Amino acid sequence: MKALLYKDWELLELADLPCPEPQAGEALIRVEACGICGSEIECFLKRLPRRRPPLVLGHEFCGRVERVGAGVTTLRPGDAVIANSVVPCRACPACRRGDTNLCPERRLFGMHRPGACAEYVAAPASVLYQRPKGMDPVLGALVEPAANGVHAARLLPHLEKRSVFVFGAGVIGLMCAQAARALCGARVAVADVSAERLAIARELGAERTVNARQEDAAKAGLDFAGEDGVDYVIDAVGSAATKAQALAMLRPGGGACWIGLHEDAMTLATYGITLPQKTVIGSYAATEEEFLLAAQLLAEGRMRPGAGVRRFPLAEAVAAFHRLARPQGADLKAVVIP
Ligand SMILES: [Zn+2]
Ligand SMILES: [Zn+2]
């Protein structure tokens, strides 16, 4: 079968690989759509050790069951399925609490096990769910990033989120913004450096957009929220600058959610968190419940992919990857159609 292979550092190619065999408890999926994730592009460009070649990439996917391995009774050949990207161990304390996204033994497609940017992938039946009726495969591949948005919007459930400010109008930022509207009834502002992406944000329901090249985002956030600041800021960029701006625009008692991974180390004036009693929380992936909620919100049109999602045949997967590594205009995401 053909697959997008991260063959060596800085080397991607369309490879011919043997078709995987489904093990006990697994199903072999004929992939219908697989998104290329920003985190994969980041790992490739920065040679991050989180993803070590050789590796078939891809964790945002959906497809049809081709056949099932021993012991699988919940799926049948031909079933249209969506797939969670995280395979939890289901035995550790985090899994037993329901925090399957935080399982220290978790295995990701395209990281710890072969990814799905290929004609076929083997996946544990436990992470596969029936695709909502009539859902287009491209939308099916976007359930995983949508679930990231649902998770970020649902954190700090006791915080009243009337105003939400989102940094980054990439797919994750736009999913966070839409989830905050759909689940919290929040007014939402979105900041980015691309006018084209901000136009998509407005089309997806952002009440205010901020071009961070032209405006001071922290000031814009205070102006947007009125009163004493923003209730909740979701930073889907994750640079030192956006993290500091997020804290600066929060109201006393407000919360900042860090989901973007752009920069790791930074220095921070911590009294600005302690004295106004602000909360900083990280966000990683989504629980299984949130994955299903995201599928439902997408199926109902309450969350949408937006313009800027580009389709590419598998034969053009390498070019698609490089194009999204240097996105132009409204390029948001490449979805590969094997
Ligand atoms: Zn991803
Ligand atoms: Zn676990």
The bridge status of strand 208-211 relative to strand 187-192 is parallel
What's the Cα-to-Cα distance from 48 to each of 43, 44, 263, rounded to whole Å?
5, 7, 12
Calculate how far, in angstroms, residue 39's C-alpha sits from the geometric centre of ligand 1.
6
Calculate how far, in angstroms, residue 291's C-alpha sits from the geometric centre of ligand 1.
13
What's the Cα-to-Cα distance from 331 to each of 43, 213, 244, rounded to whole Å?
19, 18, 27
CA pair distance 77, 48, nearest whole angstrom: 37
Q: Which ligand is nearest to the CA of 148?
A: 1
Calculate how far, in angstroms, residue 250's C-alpha sits from the geometric centre of ligand 1.
27
**Nearest by Cα to 163 from 243, 224, 235, 247:** 224
What is the pLDDT tens value at each position of the chain, 338 positions in all? Answer: 999 999 999 999 999 999 999 999 999 999 999 999 999 999 999 999 999 999 999 999 999 999 999 999 999 999 999 999 999 999 999 999 999 999 999 999 999 999 999 999 999 999 999 999 999 999 999 999 999 999 999 999 999 999 999 999 999 999 999 999 999 999 999 999 999 999 999 999 999 999 999 999 999 999 999 989 999 999 999 999 999 999 999 999 999 999 999 999 999 999 999 999 999 999 999 999 999 999 999 999 999 999 999 999 999 999 999 999 998 888 899 999 99
What's residue 164's pLDDT? Answer: 98
Calculate how far, in angstroms, residue 324's C-alpha sits from the geometric centre of ligand 1.
14
Calculate how far, in angstroms, residue 59's C-alpha sits from the geometric centre of ligand 1.
6
Calculate how far, in angstroms, residue 138's C-alpha sits from the geometric centre of ligand 1.
14
CA pair distance 18, 1, nearest whole angstrom: 6
Q: Which ligand is nearest to the CA of 57?
A: 1
Q: Helix or strand or coil: residue 310? A: strand
How many Cβ atoms are within 10 Å of 104's Cβ, its own excluded?
Answer: 10
CA pair distance 148, 283, nearest whole angstrom: 8
The angle, 0 to 180 degrees and rounded to 10, between the axes of the packed helices 217-225 and 240-249 is 30
Calculate how far, in angstroms, residue 94's C-alpha sits from the geometric centre of ligand 2.
6
Cis amide linkage into residue 145, ω under 30° from 0: no
Q: Which ligand is nearest to the CA of 100?
A: 2
Q: Which ligand is nearest to the CA of 87?
A: 2
* Torsion angles phi and psi, residue 127, rounded to 5: -105, 5
**Nearest by Cα to 41 from 325, 328, 268, 336:** 325
Calculate how far, in angstroms, residue 264's C-alpha sits from the geometric centre of ligand 2.
25
Identify the CATH homologous superfamily for domain 150-282.
NAD(P)-binding Rossmann-like Domain (3.40.50.720)
Calculate how far, in angstroms, residue 144's C-alpha sits from the geometric centre of ligand 1.
7
Calculate how far, in angstroms, residue 108's C-alpha sits from the geometric centre of ligand 2.
13
**Region(s) of the chain under CATH 3.90.180.10:** 2-142+305-337
Calculate how far, in angstroms, residue 302's C-alpha sits from the geometric centre of ligand 1.
21
The bridge status of strand 309-313 relative to strand 107-108 is unpaired
Calculate how far, in angstroms, residue 219's C-alpha sits from the geometric centre of ligand 1.
31
What's residue 83's pLDDT? Answer: 98
Calculate how far, in angstroms, residue 230's C-alpha sits from the geometric centre of ligand 1.
27
**Nearest by Cα to 204 from 91, 338, 307, 96:** 307
Q: Which ligand is nearest to the CA of 89?
A: 2
What's residue 227's pLDDT? Answer: 85
Q: Which ligand is nearest to the CA of 90?
A: 2
What's residue 114's pLDDT? Answer: 97
**Region(s) of the chain under CATH 3.40.50.720:** 150-282
Helical spans, DSSP H, in 83-170: 93-96, 137-141, 143-154
Helical spans, DSSP H, in 101-237: 137-141, 143-154, 171-184, 195-203, 217-225
Contact (Cβ atoms closer than 8 angstroms) between residue 261 and residue 242? no
CA pair distance 152, 233, nearest whole angstrom: 10
Q: Which ligand is nearest to the CA of 333?
A: 1
* Torsion angles phi and psi, residue 200, rounded to 5: -65, -40
Calculate how far, in angstroms, residue 95's C-alpha sits from the geometric centre of ligand 2.
4
**What are the tens digits of pLDDT across the range 248-258?**
999 999 999 99
**Nearest by Cα to 115 from 125, 127, 123, 124:** 123
Tokens (6 digits) for 223: 């102006």
**What are the tens digits of pLDDT across the range 133-171?**
999 999 999 999 999 999 999 999 999 999 999 999 999
CATH of 2-142+305-337, one of 2.70.98.10, 3.40.50.920, 3.90.180.10, 3.40.50.300: 3.90.180.10
CA pair distance 172, 155, nearest whole angstrom: 15
Calculate how far, in angstroms, residue 37's C-alpha sits from the geometric centre of ligand 1.
4
Calculate how far, in angstroms, residue 101's C-alpha sits from the geometric centre of ligand 2.
8
Q: Which ligand is nearest to the CA of 41?
A: 1
Beta strands in the chain (DSSP E): 2-8, 11-16, 26-36, 55-56, 60-68, 80-83, 86-87, 107-108, 120-124, 128-130, 163-167, 187-192, 208-211, 230-235, 250-258, 279-282, 309-313, 333-337
First vs last Cα of the chain: how many Å apart? 10
Calculate how far, in angstroms, residue 86's C-alpha sits from the geometric centre of ligand 2.
10
Q: Helix or strand or coil: residue 192? A: strand
Q: Which ligand is nearest to the CA of 103?
A: 2
